[in-house]
Structure 1
Amino acid sequence: MRRVATGLLVLMAAAFFASRTLEPRHPVFGFVRAFAEAAMVGGLADWFAVTALFRHPLGLPIPHTAIIPRNKNRIGDQLASFLRDYFLIPAVVARRMHRIDVAGAAGRWLANPRGAGGSRLTRGVSRLATEVLQALDQERLGGMVRAMMVTRVRETEVSPMLGRALAAAIAEERHRPVIDALVRWMRGALSANEHLVRAMVHDRAGAVLRWTGLDETLANKIIDGLDKLVAEMAENREHPVRIKVEEALVSVSERLQYDHDLRARVEALKIELLENAAMQDWINGLWEQARSAMLRAARDPDALMAGRLGEALHQLGATLQNDPRLGRIINRFVRRAAVGAAADYGDAIVRLVSETVRGWDEQTVTMRLEHAVGRDLQFIRINGTLVGGLVGVAIHIVDVLL
């Protein structure tokens, strides 16, 4: 557009000199000369005005030129103030968020990621997510994530949580399959280790018992008794031993919640585990696995959407579209989150904008703003050239008539 505007100015200059030479031959060239002459004046004036916004015209330090580079700090402050006064006010954010159906948009995209521009959106999000994950300082980010996880676990008292979880499992009888599995394991372990029982009885029996062979009989009785006990426990869920085990579990769940000594021991064990080198390596491995999984998902979102997770997301999208109550809940949550972010972080965002613009050098500010609005500014030059020419013709007509 700059070349078009400049070319038009050069064309007017050529038309001016040509019409000036040809004017004595015919009066019409007088109108052409008037148009071209005024068009040059208008084009040059608007070229000066447009150029003066971004730099000194012809490199001359003319006063009140290079306006944007000279006032970049004030522009940054004004832009930040504009954001704060018109966009980051919680009431304004809430009013605008009322018009946005986030749940519906998310539901439509999840239900059909490839439709209505969704494929392009998916590719864009994928590319952006990949670039962000790769651009971050992985060692530093990993350290932050690990520190956050460890800090969170340190600050959370796990004993009452374990106690409540165990109590809920017992109340819903979800502990019984665990006891069944334990009984089956005991039966298998007893069958596989009969020789150990026999060896233990033989070693502890007296010489008389060993000489008479009663140690073997005693070992058989013990094994048969244990096997019968385990078999009865497996067949009868109301077996006294199983009831004792369940009572012990109930007691443990209550102690985990209310026994201060046990809670202190559990907390000490938790801290000891967190400080263990093997646990630290495991946490590090968790972060690396999570990062690798995120990168794989970001690089190939179509594969992610085609798996079981994709099916779940499709179902979620359909639910979001068909369940108005769920949509209202999600929209309300998003609206409150946006309003809370504006209230809590609005000033920080404003400072970020202002400090970012202040940190740019003059050339960067000029380049970014000129790329953003430069095309429209060149239209100003073109319009100035054409309007100036028309005004010149009007003045020439008045001059001829008078």
Structure 2
Amino acid sequence: MQDIASTSALSAPDAAKLAALRRMKALATGMLVLCLIVFLLARSFEASVPALAFVAAFTEAAMIGGLADWYAVVALFRRPLGLPIPHTAIIPSNQERIADNLGHFIEQNFLAPDPVSRKLREVDFAALVADWLAEPERAQSLSRFVARLVPQAVTAIEGSGLREFVAQRVTEQIEKVQVAPLAAELLTAFADERRHQRLLDEIVKVLARFLNDQEALDALRDRIRDELPSLAKLFRADAYLLKKIVLAAGALLDEVKADPDHPMRAEFDRFVEGFVEKLRTSKAYAKRAETLKRDFLARPELRDLAQDMWQGFRTFLEQDARSETSMIRTHMASLFVDIGRQLAADPAIRADMNAGFVVALSSFVESQKSGVSRFIADQVKGWDLGQLTQLIEINVGRDLQFIRFNGMLVGGLAGLALHVGELLIFGN
């Protein structure tokens, strides 16, 4: 067999394999030469020592078997002795077919859905993600990366029309909401355990401040004076009436404030209950609420407010992303670490995530396996013939040399058996 390229261009593992191959080839060739020597010696002394005929028969057949298998092994990689013998140099002559079959074999057997899914299910992707996120330094790095993308993402949102789309969808959803029943439910929840009485307490406080406000009292006195006849004005009845009104109102407010069961509080309870019931059942109230909602949504001030809020939000994001002490990065890093820890502690979520990874990756492999097959085939087709032959021979040539040993052994035993059979049948 012709020698292989110099070891100078090989990696250390391949150089070691090449050295082992050469030793095995030398040993196989040495065994073949040894058989030749033993055969010649046996034939030379066979006349004086008849038993050597068995040795000669064995070594002769062993040489034939060894040479035949040497030819078979060499024919895989090159032409024996350089002779243009048909059906030799099998691997170099069939490079393209081998490449196509190799790619197809890998596609059908290694990238088939079942083996790919089984292999993917062996990997706990969620645990890997959890371990990665739970590391604070990695979470910090990820938060910095995400924060750098925030301004670009905001610009992309504005340019893509996504903001207008979202605003329109939100507005449409708000328009579908029935305001009156919703308000009724909110007021019912607010009135639970008479919490609406706090509102009455605030009203009482406002009225009490009004009764102690001199300017308000002067305005009320002027109003009373305007309504009195001239004779009453002469006797300053307005001051008397104002004093009585203020005293009576103050006393009433003090009573309401001090008594949780005051009749006015019960009246306020009935008022709230009646208002809530009208909101829930009255078509007139529902129509009025819907009109107010539409008028509110149509006001230009609302659009201007939304625009101002968006611009303020964008400015905050951009400034915070550039800041050394970014709040977004800090909270995002803490969030990533917490997600990692929560994920590590929740096997159910990890199982769901792993199932999702398996489905996604299996689908990806299924969609790309034809491309992988073509890539492998193209790579093999693009290899230099000498490189391809060398690569295969280095990796499997040492094992192929055992074929030569087996050929010599099997051939020798067959020759010995034939010699024994010849003696039994024909005698001397």
Bin for the TM-score computed over the shorter chain? 0.5 to 0.7
AA in 1 matched with 2:144: R
The question of whether the paired residues in 2 share the 8 Å contact of 1:101 and 1:331 is answered with: yes
Matched, 1:153 2:178: no
Question: Partners of 1:188 and 1:140 in 2: how far apart?
Answer: 52
Q: Deviations over 1:12-39 (max 9, x none)?
A: xxxxxxxxxxxxxxxxxxxxxx9xxxxx
What residue number does 1:65 align with? none
The question of whether the paired residues in 2 share the 8 Å contact of 1:183 and 1:234 is answered with: yes
In the TM superposition, 1:3-402 aligns within 5 A as: 101=126, 105=130, 109=133, 115=136, 117-138=138-159, 140-192=161-213, 193-295=216-318, 303-304=326-327, 320=342, 328=348, 385=387, 388=390
Query: Structure 1 residues 121 and 311 mapped into 2: Cα distance closer, same or farther (>3 Å)?
Result: closer
What residue number does 2:49 align with? none
Question: Partners of 1:199 and 1:180 in 2: how far apart?
Answer: 29
1:200 Cα deviation (Å)? 0.9
Q: Deviations over 1:354-381 (max 9, x none)?
A: 9xxxxxxxxxxxxxx9xxx99x969x85
- Long gaps (5+) in structure 1: 1-7, 9-33, 35-44, 50-84, 355-368, 395-402
Query: Structure 1 residues 288 and 229 mapped into 2: Cα distance closer, same or farther (>3 Å)?
Result: farther
TM-score (norm 2): 0.50
Q: Identity over aligned residues, as a percent?
A: 18
Question: Partners of 1:219 and 1:311 in 2: how far apart?
Answer: 66
Question: Partners of 2:198 and 2:312 in 1: how far apart?
Answer: 31
Question: Partners of 1:246 and 1:224 in 2: how far apart?
Answer: 26
Question: Partners of 1:280 and 1:377 in 2: how far apart?
Answer: 60
The question of whether the paired residues in 1 share the 8 Å contact of 2:147 and 2:328 is answered with: no
The question of whether the paired residues in 2 share the 8 Å contact of 1:255 and 1:262 is answered with: yes
What RMSD in Å do the two structures reach over aligned CA positions? 5.3
SS of aligned partner of 2:212: helix
Query: Structure 1 residues 190 and 381 mapped into 2: Cα distance closer, same or farther (>3 Å)?
Result: farther
What residue number does 2:414 align with? none
SS of aligned partner of 2:161: helix
Q: Deviations over 1:229-288 (max 9, x none)?
A: 222222223222222122211222222222222111101110111111222222333333
AA in 1 matched with 2:183: L
1:211 Cα deviation (Å)? 0.2
AA in 1 matched with 2:235: T
1:162 Cα deviation (Å)? 1.2
The question of whether the paired residues in 2 share the 8 Å contact of 1:159 and 1:256 is answered with: yes
Q: Deviations over 1:182-239 (max 9, x none)?
A: 3222222333321221111111111111101111100111122222222222222322
The question of whether the paired residues in 2 share the 8 Å contact of 1:201 and 1:215 is answered with: yes
Question: Partners of 1:217 and 1:245 in 2: how far apart?
Answer: 30
AA in 1 matched with 2:157: L
Please identify, of 168-177 and 148-157, the stretch whose mean Cα deviation from structure 2 is larger: 168-177
Tell me which stretches of 4 or more aligned residues in structure 1 moved more than 6 Å: 309-312, 330-336, 389-392
User: How many pairs were matched up?
Assistant: 279
Question: Partners of 2:155 and 2:180 in 1: how far apart?
Answer: 38
1:313 Cα deviation (Å)? 5.4
The question of whether the paired residues in 1 share the 8 Å contact of 2:126 and 2:354 is answered with: no
The question of whether the paired residues in 1 share the 8 Å contact of 2:181 and 2:279 is answered with: yes
TM-score (norm 1): 0.53
1:163 Cα deviation (Å)? 0.7
Question: Partners of 2:391 and 2:125 in 1: how far apart?
Answer: 48
1:389 Cα deviation (Å)? 8.8
Question: Partners of 2:388 and 2:340 in 1: how far apart?
Answer: 56
The question of whether the paired residues in 2 share the 8 Å contact of 1:122 and 1:301 is answered with: no
- Long gaps (5+) in structure 2: 1-8, 10-77, 79-91, 97-111, 398-428
Query: Structure 1 residues 248 and 305 mapped into 2: Cα distance closer, same or farther (>3 Å)?
Result: same
Query: Structure 1 residues 267 and 129 mapped into 2: Cα distance closer, same or farther (>3 Å)?
Result: same
The question of whether the paired residues in 2 share the 8 Å contact of 1:160 and 1:256 is answered with: yes
Question: Partners of 1:172 and 1:318 in 2: how far apart?
Answer: 42
The question of whether the paired residues in 2 share the 8 Å contact of 1:256 and 1:263 is answered with: yes
The question of whether the paired residues in 2 share the 8 Å contact of 1:205 and 1:215 is answered with: yes
